[in-house]
Amino acid sequence: MIADYALVFFMKHFNSQCVHADNLTAGIVPMTNKTKLLLIFLFVVTSLPVNATLPMQVDGESLPTLAPMLERSMPAVVNISTSTNVRMQENPLMNDPVFRHFFNIPNRPRQQQRNSLGSGVIVDKDAGFVLTNNHVIDKADVITVTLSDGRQLNAKLLGTDPEADVAVIQIPADNLTALKIADSSHLKVGDFVVAIGNPFGLGQTVTSGIVSALGRSGLGIEGYEDFIQTDASINPGNSGGALVNLRGEFVGMNTAILAPSGGNVGIGFAIPSNMAVKLMESLVQHGEVRRGLLGVTTQDLTPELVKAFNLKGQYGAVVSRIETGSPAEKAGIEPGDIIVAVNGQEIRNGSSQIRTAIGLLQIGDTADLEVMRGEERLKLQATIGKPKRAEIAGESLHPLLKGVALSATTKDQIEGVVMDKIDAKSYAWKTGLRPGDVIISANRYRVRNLDELKQVVNPRSPLLINLQRNGEGFFVVLQ
C-alpha cells in the first residue's frame, strides 16, 4: 500500500512538472535524458515491494500436500498380474494328421497364454487377504501379486462373487501393510477422495477428486450395484485398487468407468467398503456368497403408477408378485405394497436397489421392511430363506430338449429360463445351445419362468427360442 501511494504521488508530481514545462518560455532548457533515466529508475524501485509480496511459505510452513498420507497408504495397494491358458479354437480338420500331412501344415500349440493386469488392496496384513475385482482374476491359472517394495508373491484364490465383481485372494503374510477400513455409509457427496491403482501397467498411480454421487445402481455393469460415483480418474488397470479418504482410509474399491468414447470422462465407480468387506467375509468363510431369498418381484414406479396408487412421493418399488410359501408371504407382504425402505435404507433407485439390498443378506438374516399399503405405512420383518430353484428335464417340455436341465433364473438382471446342464451328445448341444444360455422368449412369447415356458411350448411343433448369452441375443430353431 505504501508503494502504491508513493507511486501516485510521484506520477502526480511528474505530471505537474510536465504541464508546467509545456508553459515555459522557449528560453528555458528542457528535461535531459539523464533526468529521464533517473525518473525511470525511481519508478522501478518504487514498484519493487509490490512484486516482492508473493510468499514462498505460509506462516513459515510448506504448502498443503497429500504426500504423507499417500506414503502410508500406497504400500497397501498392490499390482496383480494373471496368466490364463486358453485353448485355441480351430477347424476340426486341423486335428486330422492325414489332412495336416497332405497340406504340409506344421503342428501348432493348441493353447495360448493370455495375460492381464489389475490392482488389489491388502485389507488384512496378518492373514494376507487382498481384495480385488472378479474380472481382474477371472479364470486365471496363475495370480502374481507385486508389492510396492518390488516383491512378487504367488496368490491363492479364496473365493469370487461374479455378480458383485468381488474376489478375495491370499498372499503370504510377511511384513505387509494394510489399509484401515472406513465406514462407507458416512460418505457424503462432495467428500474428497483419492484413487490409487496401477493403470496401464505403469506402476502405482494416484488421482484425486470428490464423491460425485452415492448409491448408483441400475447401470447394468454388475448384477448387484450400489456404487460410489467419483470424478477421480479410474483408468484400465485401476480395477481392484483403493478409493481412500484424506485420512488414507479405505472407503471403496475402484471398479468401472463410464467411457462412451473409450476414455475416462470423469465418471468412475467404486464398490463401497461396507459392501466389499461384507462379501469378503462370506467368501473367506464359505468360498462363495450364499445369497438368500425374499420371494418378491418388484417393478419401478412410473408417474402413472404413482398417480394410480395415490402416492405422495415417487420413491420405492411396487410388489407385483409373491412366491408361494416364500419369506415375503410369511412376513405378510401383499401384491400392490410399495416397499419404501429395507433395513432403514430408503429405496430411491427402485427395484435394482431392493435387489442389491436383499442380495447382500445371507440365509437366516433379518430384513426389516417398510411398505406403503394405501395410506398406511407398515413395518414388516422377513427372515431370508434358502433359494428354491425348481429344475425340470427339458424333454418334459419338448422332445428336442432331451438332455437339457432347465430352471428359472434372474441372470444378468434378465428374468428367464436358464439351461443349467446340457448333454454334449444331445441334439440341443449339436444345435449350438450351451450351459448358461437364458431363454427369454419361446415361439415369440416372452417367458420369465418355467410356468410361462410350459404354456407356449408345443411338443409336436418346431420350437423357436430367443437366447441371451454374454450380453448378446440370438434366435435358435429346434425342428
Residue that is written with C-alpha cell 436341465 in the block: 405
Catalytic residue among 73, 81, 116, 239: 239
Q: What is the DSSP string of 408-447?
A: EEEETTEEEEEEEEE-TTSHHHHHT--TT-EEEEETTEE-
Cα 172 from Cα 164, distance rounded (Å): 26
Is 165 tagged catalytic? yes
Catalytic residue among 124, 161, 165, 337: 165
Report DSSP state, residue 201: G
Report DSSP state, residue 186: G
Cα 183 from Cα 297, distance rounded (Å): 31
Displacement of CA 329 from its chain's centroid (Å): 33
Catalytic residue among 73, 135, 273, 426: 135
Q: Using only C-alpha atoms, what is the Rg of the chain?
A: 34
Q: Which residues of 52-65 are buried (b: 16+ CB within 10 A; e: fewer)?
A: eeeeeeeeeeeeee
3-state secondary structure of 38: helix
- Contacts (Cβ under 8 Å, ≥6 apart) of 81: 115, 116, 117, 118, 143, 144, 146
Is 135 tagged catalytic? yes
Is 231 tagged catalytic? no
First to last CA, the chain: 94
Cα 193 from Cα 187, distance rounded (Å): 10
Residue 169 has, within 13 A of its CA and on its CB side, a CA count of 29
Q: Which three cell numbers stand for residue 286?
A: 464359505
Residue 129 has, within 13 A of its CA and on its CB side, a CA count of 20
3-state secondary structure of 293: strand
Cα 42 from Cα 49, distance rounded (Å): 13
Cα 6 from Cα 9, distance rounded (Å): 5
Report DSSP state, residue 105: P
- Contacts (Cβ under 8 Å, ≥6 apart) of 29: none
Residue 56: phi, psi to the nearest 5? -85, -25
- For the annotated catalytic residues, the residue numbers are 135, 165, 239
